[in-house]
A and B are shown apart, each in its own frame.
Chain A
Amino acid sequence: MLDRSAVGATFPPFEYRIDPGEILAFAAAIGDQHPAYAAGEALPPTMATAWVHRGNPRFHQHLIDLGVNLAMVLHGEEEFSYLAPIRAGDTVSGAVTVLSIDEKAGRSGAMDLLELETTYAVGGVPSLVARSLIVVRRPGGGA
């Protein structure tokens, strides 16, 4: 069971400078060859996922504090809303809010559902919103 009292809470914001080399390494790992990335004009559509892991050192601790067993985590949904351009060299400020905590009966036992929303601002302007649904399997169950 996850800590439902956390619904509505926003974790302390983190700041991350977007390194041009990281953009190219991310695009290369996917195999996304669009020339706008090397030109510094745009980011790969899913680039913000790297800011969660590389830019927010406390992210995993936040999940653990909510009661999440990291070994049992699966990704359920992800949605990006692109509000304003973000470019290489920009510094984003990310704030993670817990939107909802729920549970559901899956094919192989109960699972916890955790919905997070991260708003990334550049110079105070909200520029990208990422909404994630994280599924946490319970020990003994299948996927």
Chain B
Amino acid sequence: MSELATLAAGDELPARRFGPVTQEQINAYAEASGDMNPIHRDPEFAAMVGLGGTIAHGMLVMGLAGAYLAELAGPANLRQFGARFKAMTRPGETIVCSGRVTEISDEPGGRVLRCEIRAANEAGEIKLTGHCVAFAAKEER
């Protein structure tokens, strides 16, 4: 059963902490995603192009938010998932995902929830804001 089944519009989603993001994780994500851009892996190159050091892939941080939603809703129940990248993430930062239900509509067999989501570091710097649409099956009685 989805954890979303019992929430109401306006309810906060339970927050979840990920990380800290490490350079090793960024390297593993580069390999697994195929995004080998040196700004994520090579500190000297990243400094040369004005970034002051390596940064995590935005899609890695969105991937953490995706893991957050997969656990809450079940990955097969997601209908839409969008993110806007607000700040760069550096190795060593811990990412806290949170969110809120904004709208619920009924549908045969269950209901559809719209949520806004956030990913921030522990100091509260927002890395990503996003939204999702997820189906939650009705609880068996």
Residues of chain A within 8 A (CB-CB) of B60 are 29-30
Bitwise interface map of B from 66 to 81 toward A, beta carbon under 8 Å scored 1, else 0: 1101110011101111
| Interface size range of chain B in the complex | 35 or more
Q: Which stretch of B5-13, B28-36, B104-112 is in the interface? A: B28-36
CB distance from A77 to the nearest CB of B (A): 5
Q: Number of residue pairs across A and B with beta carbons under 8 Å?
A: 123
Q: Which of B33, B34, B63 contacts A32 (CB 8 A)?
A: B63
- Complex alpha-carbon distance, A141 and B51, angstroms: 11
Q: Is the interface of A mostly helix, strand, loop or mixed?
A: mixed
- Complex alpha-carbon distance, A54 and B81, angstroms: 22
Residues of chain A within 8 A (CB-CB) of B28 are 28-29
Q: Which of B33, B38, B39, B76 has the most CB of A within 10 A?
A: B33
Contacts of A76-112 to chain B: CB distance below 8 A: 76-82, 85
Residues of chain A within 8 A (CB-CB) of B64 are 30-31
- Complex alpha-carbon distance, A77 and B128, angstroms: 9
Give the B-binding residues of A (Cβ under 8 A).
Answer: 22, 25-26, 28-34, 36-37, 41-46, 49-50, 52-54, 70-82, 85, 131, 137, 141-143
Known A41-B76, A74-B58, A131-B82; further 6 A-B contacts with Cβ < 8 A: A22-B32, A34-B75, A44-B67, A46-B62, A76-B84, A79-B81
